[in-house]
């Protein structure tokens, strides 16, 4: 595997699950594979789970790990081509990428959407520059439009907890005080659309995701109908995608918060969220503190998804 930026980089959902179960059964089986190999993790944005789980995954594979927080101690990087560099950014990413690549064997990149320019974000300019100029296998640790390691962990979690062969999985928008990217819901939708699950998305009008991510999902604007009979409720906030509203907050309606009343409409659904989560904005304390909440196990599966991907990359070196 030379890159991992979306579900398309794994042959099939079945293959993804086989790789994951293999890692779960014996996480330390491939310690020799990563010996004397270095993973460089580059963060343009903050992280708790991705940082720790990916580092743990690499350590399980016997790798060395270097972590760079670009905005804390590194030179500010210019990312646009052709600019006169007379501002506050002393280094261009076009030199920085090959230099960083010379110190490692595999690169993980976290770079969120800026939410100012939809074309720049949806062209994945920064992630693609790493793929183009590093000459090394590159995986996304959440980019502008997708968070594939999270979605992979979400899939593993659903497979572990599902009580019926074809569960109803609901992705619901929920309110948040700040404008957030669409990467997590886009990616979750993309992965769910590769399964045989009944997949439903609900959100207020105006929060439609890009059609290529919605795919064959049913979009249900009636929130009660959306929750009815669900086996998994996956909550996430996102900002508007469409038209001139790109990156804007259109609603902070707390009627969309996941609470016990809505969960009572489900078929004893499990509650999921990628974390970090704003309690009593996205989800009530009652729901996230209940036995239906599987958010911590979901986060623990981030080690498994990262290890499965890095192992495939090591095998391709």
Q: Which residues in this chain contact ligand CP in the complex, by CB under 6 A?
A: 47-50, 142, 150, 274-276
Q: How far is the CB of 45 from ligand CP (least distance, A)?
A: 8
Q: Which is nearer to ligand CP, 42 or 274 (CB)?
A: 274
- Nearer of residues 226 and 274 to ligand CP, judged by Cβ: 274
| 145 close to 182: Cβ distance less than 8 angstroms | yes
Q: How far apart are CA 154 and CA 170, in angstroms?
A: 13
Q: How far is the CB of 197 from ligand CP (least distance, A)?
A: 21
- Rounded CA separation 110/186 (Å): 16
C-alpha–C-alpha distance, residues 207 and 171, integer Å: 12
Residue 139 or 227 with smaller CB distance to ligand CP: 139
CB of 317 to ligand CP, least distance (A): 26
R_g of the chain computed on alpha carbons: 20
Write down the H helix ranges in 61-196: 93-101, 118-122, 125-134, 148-161, 183-192
How many whole angstroms from its chain centre is CA 13?
16
What minimum distance in Å lies between the beta carbon of 202 and ligand CP?
21
- CA gap 164, 269 in Å, rounded: 12
Choice between 53 and 129, CB closer to ligand CP: 53
Nearest distance from C-beta of residue 275 to ligand CP, angstroms: 5
Residue 105 or 142: which CB sits closer to ligand CP? Answer: 142
Q: In angstroms, rounded to a whole number, what is the distance separating the alpha carbons of residues 56 and 59? A: 5
């Amino acid at each position: 595997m030379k890159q991992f930026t979306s579900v398309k980089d794994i042959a099939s959902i079945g293959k993804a699950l086989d790789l994951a179960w293999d890692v779960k059964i014996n996480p330390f089986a491939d310690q020799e594979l990563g010996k004397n190999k270095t993973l460089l993790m580059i963060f343009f944005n903050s992280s708790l789970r991705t940082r720790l789980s990916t580092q743990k995954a690499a350590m399980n594979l016997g790798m060395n790990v270097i972590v760079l927080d670009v905005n804390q101690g590194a030179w500010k990087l210019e990312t646009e081509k052709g600019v006169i560099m007379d501002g506050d950014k002393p280094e261009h990413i076009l030199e920085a990428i090959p230099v960083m690549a010379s110190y490692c064997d595999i690169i993980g990149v976290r770079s969120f959407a800026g939410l100012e320019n939809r074309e720049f974000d949806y062209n994945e300019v920064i992630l693609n520059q790493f793929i183009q100029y590093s000459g090394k296998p590159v995986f996304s640790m959440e980019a502008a439009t997708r968070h594939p390691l999270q979605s992979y962990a979400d899939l593993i979690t659903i497979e572990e907890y599902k009580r019926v062969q074809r569960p109803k999985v609901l992705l619901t928008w929920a309110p948040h005080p700040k404008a957030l990217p669409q990467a997590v819901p886009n990616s979750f939708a993309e992965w769910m659309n590769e399964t045989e699950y009944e997949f439903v998305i609900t959100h207020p009008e105006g929060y439609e995701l890009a059609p290529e991510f919605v795919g064959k999902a049913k979009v249900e604007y009636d929130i009660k109908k959306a929750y009815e009979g669900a086996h998994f409720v996956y909550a996430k906030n996102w900002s508007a995608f469409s038209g001139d509203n790109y990156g804007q907050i259109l609603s902070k309606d707390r009627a969309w918060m996941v609470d016990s009343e809505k969960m009572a409409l489900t078929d004893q659904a499990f509650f999921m969220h990628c974390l970090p989560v704003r309690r009593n904005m996205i989800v009530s304390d009652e729901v996230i503190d209940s036995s239906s909440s599987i958010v911590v196990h979901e986060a623990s599966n981030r080690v498994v998804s990262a290890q499965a991907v890095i192992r495939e990359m090591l095998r391709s070196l």
